[in-house]
Structures are given as C-alpha cells and as structure tokens.
Amino acid sequence: MSNGKGKKHKIILTGGGTGGHIFPLIAIVREVKRILPVETLDIHYLGPKDGIPRKYIEREGIKVKYISAGKIRRYSGIQPFLQNLIDMFIKTPIGVVQSFIFLFSFSPDMILSKGGYGSFPVILSGRMLQIPSFMHESDSVVGAANKFLQRFIAEIFVAFPNTEGVDKAKMLVVGNPIREELIKGNKEKARSIFNLKGEKPVLLILGGSQGSERINDLLLSSIRMALEDFEIIHQCGGKNHEQIAAEVNAVITRKDLKERYHAYPFLEEEKLKHAYKCADLVVSRAGSGTIFEVAANGRAGVFLPLPESAQDHQVKNAYEYAASGAAVVMEEGNLTSHFFLEKLREIFSIREQIEEMEKNALKFAKPRAGYIVAAYIKEYLTR
C-alpha cells in the first residue's frame, strides 16, 4: 500500500460500549498517533450508542458513528426471550445495513475490533466488502461474539497467554493495551489531590466504570472497622455516590475516621493515575483492563470477579492473574464483610507479602501492549 504524499490512513474502530472495550482502543490510537503523522490518519469509531459517553472517544480526535446493535441475553424469562428476538431479527440486521453503507462510502484500509455485540454488524459488513479486520481479545476466555467473528479476522491479539477458545493460528499475545498516562502518576501529588492523611495503608476500591453496588455494600457493612485500619479511596459509581456519602456520614461519627474516607463517582484518567501510585492495595472487579492497569503500576490486588460475567470470564481472568502471585481472588459466593476485612488485614500483616505481590505484578505487566498493536497497524498500513 502506498504511503505517498496526501495519502490518508483510514481506520475503523469498533466494539461494545463499555470501558473495557473503549479504553484499550483509546490506548492503541494514542500509540498510533505517536508513530504515524496525525495528519495522515482518518479514524472513526463505529459501534453502539450505549455505555461509555461519546466524549471519551471524541477527545482523542476519533469521529463517531453510531449503529444499531443487538445482544443476546442469557437469563431466562419471556421478556429476555422477546428482546433477544427483536435484537437478532431487527436490531442486528439494521446495524449490518448501517455498517455496510458507511464502510462502502468511507472505504477504510482496516477495521480494528475490541469485540462484543457492538462489533458484530461491523465485522460482518467488513467481510462482505473484503476489508481486512483485526481483533483484540481482552479476557482469558473468548466471548461468544468474538468466538463466532474470529473466522473473519486476519490476526487476533490477546491479553492472556492461555486464552481459551481463540484460533491459535491467528493468535498473538500482547497483553491488554492500557493508556500509558495511567502509569505516570505521582504519590506526592496524590496526597494533595485526595487530601490523604498518610497514617494508614491506602486502599483503592474500584467498581468499574459504572460502580459496583455489591462491592459498595460489602464495604459499607464494615466501613467503621475498615477505617480503623485503612485510608480508603472509593470509586463508587455516579448513581451511587450521593447515597453512599450520606450513609458513611451517618454511620461514622469520629472526625478522624471520616477524614480517611474519600468517595468519588468516577476517577477520570488524571485522578486515577495518581490513585494507583498512592494505593498500597487495589480492590476491584476482575475486568481485564483493570487487571493490566494494576499490574503495570506494580500494585498488589484483591479481585472480586463478577459472577454473572459472560463465559465466567472475570473469574477466569482473576485466577489466571492470581497464579502469577500478584493478587488474591475472593469470590462472592462465600464472601462476608467480616471475612473480607480479615483477609485485607492478613495481607498487610506481613509487609514482605505485599512487596512480593508488587514485584510479581510488574513481572506480569505488559505496558507496551498498545505500542505493539500500533506498530503492527503501522506496518500493515505502510507496507
């Protein structure tokens, strides 16, 4: 393919609408812009409207085009059954037509997919138009949509070396792309941003981009005792923030304990990078994006996988990462607030244990994943 003067490299990004799909794409785009002249790039995101707000995509200079996309609900009942029929026979076909028209008129050089139901119409349309497609699979087990779509994919980048269900002939292990800025936090700046007292170890508790009500409930049920031992930065989700702040304010009467609790609806990139650096331990769901961010920052982790995750991928993510010695897994089925708190205390009872977990996290980390995928894209576009 020519790289002549004035030649535009046209790239389509697609994937589901959650942070787990969008933020790795953003990480890759940032790396692409570092190794290719920005003026030669014409990048569009083509996918569903739900999930991560448009601003996160557009602030990267990526143009957005929304399409209809249907998904399969795995829970039983007449309403989910009817919704599945509507999605399969109405929403998805509409999305395929929308994607086909856009791809035909735009004529991209390639499609880069993060997978999920949102990518389904785009990859199918790309196949019809013979547009080369590449995919990144974040989880340790291939999702249902990706498992079907991989037959139309030229190369599949994976995060975990033992990813289940992927076509090994197409697989390249790179890690999960994270935004490079997230490993550039500063511990001293974090103390100022979060008004940390610095008297106790710092717990960073994350519930994903939407927050996790069950993690919130687990913490709140033992908040008084937890604040005796830890200082807590808590990303609790926008819809939960006011209620949680009010509950903590009502339950905690001691001023010194209140000052150790710092709740936020969502930690934007600028705050999150500093939160990672000041945290002595990160407690989180087991989405691949968070796991690789925690690892790249060399933090010890406690992961509480979402039991309802598709293909049980969060449980598998968590245990594959924990096998490296960098984290502890606690499943919800037998988890009580008392057990949770005692486990945290046990981890901190031996300082060498935390230090060993931090070393193992850095060994597992693949902070150059975004660059590796970007370099592959550059090679393909300019060959």
With a cut of 50, list the residues of the chain below it in pLDDT: 1-4
The strand ranges marked E within the chain are 9-14, 41-47, 63-66, 110-113, 133-137, 155-158, 171-173, 202-206, 231-235, 261-264, 281-284, 301-303, 327-329
C-alpha–C-alpha distance, residues 78 and 71, integer Å: 16
DSSP assignment of 169-216 equals: GGEEE------GGGG---HHHHHHHTT---SSPEEEEE--TT--HHHH
pLDDT at 50: 72
- Closest by CA position to 225, among listed 339, 353, 352: 339
SS3 of residue 3 by DSSP = coil
| Joined tokens for residue 122 | 């785009």
pLDDT at 17: 60
Greatest alpha-carbon pair distance for the chain in Å reads 68
pLDDT at 21: 83
pLDDT at 311: 80
Instruction: For residue 89, give the DSSP letter.
Output: I
- CB-neighbour burial class of residue 170 (10 A; exposed 0-12, middle 13-18, buried 19+): middle
Tokens 């389904």 correspond to 120
pLDDT at 288: 94
Whole-model pTM: value is: 0.92
Per-residue pLDDT tens digits for 316-354: 999 999 999 999 999 988 799 999 999 999 999 998 999
Distant-in-sequence, close-in-space partners of 156: CB < 8 Å, separation ≥ 6: 134, 135, 136, 137, 150, 166, 167, 170, 171, 172
Distant-in-sequence, close-in-space partners of 89: CB < 8 Å, separation ≥ 6: none
Strands 133-137 and 231-235 turn out to be unpaired
Distant-in-sequence, close-in-space partners of 7: CB < 8 Å, separation ≥ 6: 40
Kindly report, as residue ranges, where domains of CATH 3.40.50.2000 are found in the chain: 9-177+367-382, 181-364
CATH of 9-177+367-382, one of 3.40.50.2000, 3.40.50.300, 3.90.79.10, 3.30.70.600: 3.40.50.2000
Q: Which helix (H) or strand (E) holds 377?
A: helix 369-382
pLDDT at 209: 56
b/e map 120-146, b = 16+ CB within 10 Å: bbbbbbbbeeebbbbbbbbbbbbbbbb
Strands 171-173 and 155-158 turn out to be parallel
| Joined tokens for residue 273 | 């990078």
Q: Which amino acid is at 277?
A: K
Answer yes or no: are the C-beta atoms of 101 and 128 closer than 8 Å: no
pLDDT at 144: 84
pLDDT at 113: 96
Per-residue pLDDT tens digits for 152-193: 999 999 999 999 999 999 999 999 999 999 999 999 999 999
Distant-in-sequence, close-in-space partners of 336: CB < 8 Å, separation ≥ 6: none
| Architecture category of domain 181-364 in CATH | 3-Layer(aba) Sandwich (3.40)
